Structure 1
Amino acid sequence: MKAVIAGTVVAEAATEDLVKIEGNWYFPPASLTEGAFHESPTAYHCPWKGDAQYFDVGVGDDVVKDGGWSYPQPIPSSFERVGTDYSGYVAFDRASVTISE
């Protein structure tokens, strides 16, 4: 699967390497395009996943503010609910980032 912004692939991985949580595909850290992710100061806390890290995502003039997010250190009990350790995996705002196979 691919995550694309304005024609630029910002993440790409085999579907079996992704994790689907609450309708969002989370891409593994190794699949992210280097230089396309910049930490955002936006804060969010999910009661069952923990503290999120948001990212401004893109390259050049095509950057989506808070276009991606990750749980660098999820609450360990969430692994059972999700079925795997998804630490550092990144999901994308589907209104701004195209996810396709």
Structure 2
Amino acid sequence: MAKRLSNESSIGDVLKAFIETNKLQGGMDKIDVQQAWKSLMGNGVNSYTKEVVLKGSTLYVSLTSAVLREELSYGKQKIITMINEELRKEVVKDIILR
């Protein structure tokens, strides 16, 4: 049975407990990574981005431009660092550009 919180709990604490109790953190991470990609990469890269999917700790990014895919492949580690810093935790460990 779920642990009952006191009436003085903040809404943030209640939401964290709800996410933890219902094992929703994986889904929240997927959404957060997609939003972080959009905000960090900007309109130029986003216009060539078809799909951003997090599976486990690997981020799969589908791009429509082979040239852009090649350019981004040189900075994979920097992109991983930027996304993890944006999320304030280590979610992404590898990026696969397709």
What is the TM-score of this pair, normalised by structure 1? 0.25
Higher relative contact order (CA 8 A, sep 6+): 1
Larger Rg over CA atoms: 2
What is the TM-score of this pair, normalised by structure 2? 0.26
Higher share of residues assigned helix:
2
